[in-house]
Structure 1
Amino acid sequence: MATHDVIGVGLMVLGSAVPLMTLWLRLHFRLRQERERRDYLQTATALPAGSRVREQREDGTRLVLDLGPATRNEC
């Protein structure tokens, strides 16, 4: 193989590897964010009944967690 062939093959491999690595990194950090969010919501569900938790995500979506009505003894 000539030197230019080796360089060409190396560039093709690199061209395939960079997008895959970029995708892996994006998925990795997204999964980490979702795990942190899950932990946050598990903590929020430990609040007393009748509580409401509101969250606004970075992408503009809103999340409202309503833990149901508080029990009241009405006579």
Structure 2
Amino acid sequence: MAMAAPDIEQLIREAFPDAKVIVTDLAGDGDHYGARVVSQAFAGKSRVQQHQMVYAALKGNMGEALHALALETDVPK
């Protein structure tokens, strides 16, 4: 069963309470999402580390309930 955008957003917000999170259904199929996550928690981290942090926040759903997620992460300006 696929995850809904609000569920993805909730998991990310639980891990990064300060984050600005935008989740978009890229294909309109409820299975391919894009997420932009901006959090101070990413400061000093490489892009790979930032993405790993977001994947960890998804609590094992990546590759299971969540098939594809195009990530864009950043630190607040």
- Is the shorter-chain TM-score for this pair beyond 0.5, marking a shared fold? no
Q: Which is helix-richer, 1 or 2?
A: 1
Q: Which is strand-richer, 1 or 2?
A: 2
Q: Considering only CA atoms, is the larger Rg found in Structure 1 or Structure 2?
A: 1
Using structure 2 for the length normalisation, give the TM-score.
Answer: 0.27
Structure with more contact order per residue of length (Cα contacts < 8 Å, sep ≥ 6): 2
